[in-house]
Chains A and B, each alone.
Chain A
Amino acid sequence: MNKEQALLQRIANRLGHSEPLKEKPQRDVIGAPDFWREYQLSLDEKIDRFSESWRALTGIVEVVDSPTAALTVLKNWLQSEQISRVIRWNHPELDNLGLDGELQGQGVKVDIWGKGGNFSMKEIANEAEAGITWVDYAVADTGTLALFSSAGKARSVSLLPPIHISIFRADQLVTRIGEIMVKLDEMNRKQGLPAGVNFITGPSRSADIENDLSIGVHGPKKVYAIIIR
């Protein structure tokens, strides 16, 4: 009997089972309470609720009607933040947006995750002044972004630069975080979970010094979101 089996047997003994349970136990309670599952917002309500929650935590958000308008907002933000270097996810939606040419025309160097040649992508991300992502889902209830990692969608991009800018379409909004949790369970059952899933709500923060809120401890200090209707 190895140590894992020994631990499971010890637990079984304490619980009055002759050997560790192999059958999935029956249970009458799963996930969130029933009343909460009924919570469902319309598309407009989701946009409003997300924006309200996002702003409550110092986030900046713009709701636009077209990809072109999104690009204009992005360019303005980068200009007002005086940013000269960004790193972005290697994501087809960001390719389609055509931001590389537009930003470079504005004098901003754009690095794409995974296309750094011989340079370390982590170093490149660490030196970038902003990271740009196209999120997988967003949660209206709490103003939360959900980012699933993959080769082109690295975790470092939303973590290392001092500014994180995320773009998504309004139909990627869900009401509750639980809707994404159910999707994760489904992905897992199909062996399709990514290595990392991050739910991001607002900037990096801490209240560890005299319980005084400070922003941007290790992660981004500023967070921006663009919602395309």
Chain B
Amino acid sequence: MSTHPAVPLKERIRHAIADEALIQAVKKTTDKLEGGKLSSSEALGNWEQWREQGNRIRSHVVAHLDYYLGQFIENVKKRGGHVHVADNAKQAVEIFLQIAKGKNAKSVLKSKSMVSEEVHVNKALEDNGVKVIESDLGEYIIQLFGEAPSHIIVPAIHKNRFQIADKFSEIAGEQLTHDTPTLTAFARQVLRKEFLEADIGVSGSNFAIAESGSIVMFTNEGNGRMVTTLPPVHVAFMGMERLLPSFEDLETFVNLLPRSATGQKITSYVSVINGARQEGDLDGAQEFHVIIVDNGRTNILGDEEFQEVLNCIRCGACLNVCPVYRHIGGHAYGDVYPGPIGAVITPLLKNDFETWGDLPYASSLCGACTEACPVQIPLHDMLVKLRAKKVRLGLTPGWERTAFRAWKGMFGKANRYKLSIKAAQMMIPFLAKEGYIEKGPLNMMGWTHARHFPSPAKQTFRDQWERISGELKGGGNHE
């Protein structure tokens, strides 16, 4: 199942870069997150070795996912948990609706789960008359606005405190001040009541432990703990690749994930849920369900070019360093996963290059994402390979293929190359103004639409080289 964005990527980008407030907010937050990551990883030391360790553990799990997922499923059941498998988004939603109907649920309280966003469960619940509330502060805010998250870690990155204060005031029925303590206190008060009354609590799972059948959540606000402690039923959404073999392995990710995500040494809460409450317990859910979601992930397995992307631990570090994300924010990517990771996994998960194949072009291929990734996913290499795949599928425009054939013919032979450079130089006076090309011809217009292109040097490198090497040969006094 593939969804379609309302407007094409170029439109979305044009819309985003016109929003000055958005760009400022995104820049401010990503700067802070990236700075925090750099200082906290430096303070830990041996960051490269930690990354290497993270990469090796995750690669091993993904390469043996049949074993570890099988082991996880078996152990959840041993603890009395309910295991559900969703091949796609539609099934995931149906499974959840079945659970909700079976419990005659009126109210569902959610903590953060990217997979539940991926399968769009909220709308289906509302359509069925079930109240669904996002309890993560950022998610709560954007739910009130009827919007989608624009950052994996900071979902409401694009909203400022004035907008939020106005929205909260509507609900409060009085004008609230726009300072964050007031706004936070308001959310605490409203949501606390909901936590205590909810019929079903929903969480995601940052990791799942195969050997014990546990799920692990990294959270800061405490809402993840609330939804797994107070309502009688807990349903966890989980991407099928989220596994780690044992708790011992979790130590590496306790060190990698919070630092990469927010620059914290560890999140306020790392919560391990080992199924439903046990005999004598008076809190914790009485019933535990886990919905294991495929939704295109098996497409990526066994593909040697892209399998490694399943190592991703959803930290958002690649977003914060990406010059493109920092200029356009999350919504322009058109689906739930933004930034470099989104540009890679969206076309792969949906297996639809016709609709989503333009995302890998939303990158300057600078490689900052690869460098930032705590599990060493070669994201920018994958972006290139995805572009190549789009070409192989015959989805690029005819003129582009013709242009590249011409380019190949021109640049494949030295004399033709020289000739083309000479021809281009003759064009410069018509195009460049004060050292910059402001409006390029044909397909160069895409580039010069938003910025100037530096005019090529008056003398080409080849010409310079000819002169310099001539001078050198001509008896310089070098040794």
Contacts and interface: CB of A to CB of B under 8 A. Distances in A.
Given A7-B294, A199-B272, A211-B154, 19 more contacts: A3-B87, A7-B85, A7-B292, A8-B70, A8-B73, A13-B302, A33-B50, A36-B255, A155-B283, A178-B251, A198-B269, A199-B269, A199-B270, A199-B271, A201-B266, A209-B141, A210-B29, A217-B188, A218-B222
B220 A22 contact: no
Question: In terms of DSSP, what is the predominant structure of the interface of chain A?
Answer: loop
Contacts of A205: 220-221, 268
A202 B268 contact: yes
Interface in B49-71: 49-50, 52-53, 56-57, 60, 63-67, 69-70
Contacts of B298: 7, 10-11, 14
A10 B278 CA distance: 34
A149 B69 CA distance: 26
Contact of B269 (A35, A185, A193, A219): A219
9 contacts: A4-B85, A14-B301, A33-B53, A36-B46, A154-B281, A195-B275, A195-B277, A196-B228, A208-B154
B273 A195 contact: yes
A207 B222 contact: no
A74 B57 CA distance: 44
B276 interface: yes
Given A154-B281, A159-B229, A218-B223, A207 B154 contact: yes
Nearest to B252: A32
Interface in B144-164: 154-157, 159-161, 164
Contacts of A181: 246-248, 250-251
Among B56, B135, B164, B246, max chain A CB count under 10 A is at B246
A50 interface: no
B203 interface: no
Nearest to B33: A211
B191 A218 contact: yes
A142 interface: yes
Nearest to B53: A33
Nearest to A30: B248
A13 to B, nearest CB: 8
B188 A198 contact: no
A185 B184 contact: no
Interface in A1-32: 3-4, 6-8, 10-17, 20-25, 27-32
Interface residues of B, number: 97
Given A25-B60, A31-B251, A197-B274, A206 B184 contact: yes
Interface in A180-197: 181-182, 184-185, 188, 193-197
B450 interface: no
A139 to B, nearest CB: 9
Interface of B: 25, 28-29, 32-33, 46, 49-50, 52-53, 56-57, 60, 63-67, 69-70, 73, 83, 85, 87, 135-138, 141, 154-157, 159-161, 164, 180-181, 183-185, 187-188, 191-192, 195-196, 211-212, 214, 220-223, 225-226, 228-230, 240, 245-252, 254-255, 262, 265-284, 292, 294, 298, 301-302
Nearest to A186: B247
Contact of A32 (B228, B255, B265, B279): B255
A70 B206 CA distance: 37
Given A33-B252, A208-B138, A214-B184, A150 B230 contact: no
B410 to A, nearest CB: 42
Contacts of A141: 265
Contacts of B161: 209-210, 212
Nearest to A152: B280
Interface in A41-63: 53
Contacts of A20: 66-67, 70
Contacts of A36: 46, 251, 255
Among B226, B229, B280, max chain A CB count under 10 A is at B229
A188 B209 CA distance: 11
Nearest to A57: B268
Contacts of B255: 32, 36
A108 interface: no
A188 B211 contact: yes
Among A141, A144, A181, A218, max chain B CB count under 10 A is at A218
Interface in A109-128: 113-114, 121-123, 126
Nearest to B297: A11
Contacts of A195: 273-278, 281, 284
A98 interface: no
Given A4-B83, A14-B301, A212-B180, A204 B270 contact: no
A15 B63 contact: yes
Contacts of A211: 28-29, 32-33, 154, 157
A24 B266 CA distance: 31
Nearest to A197: B272
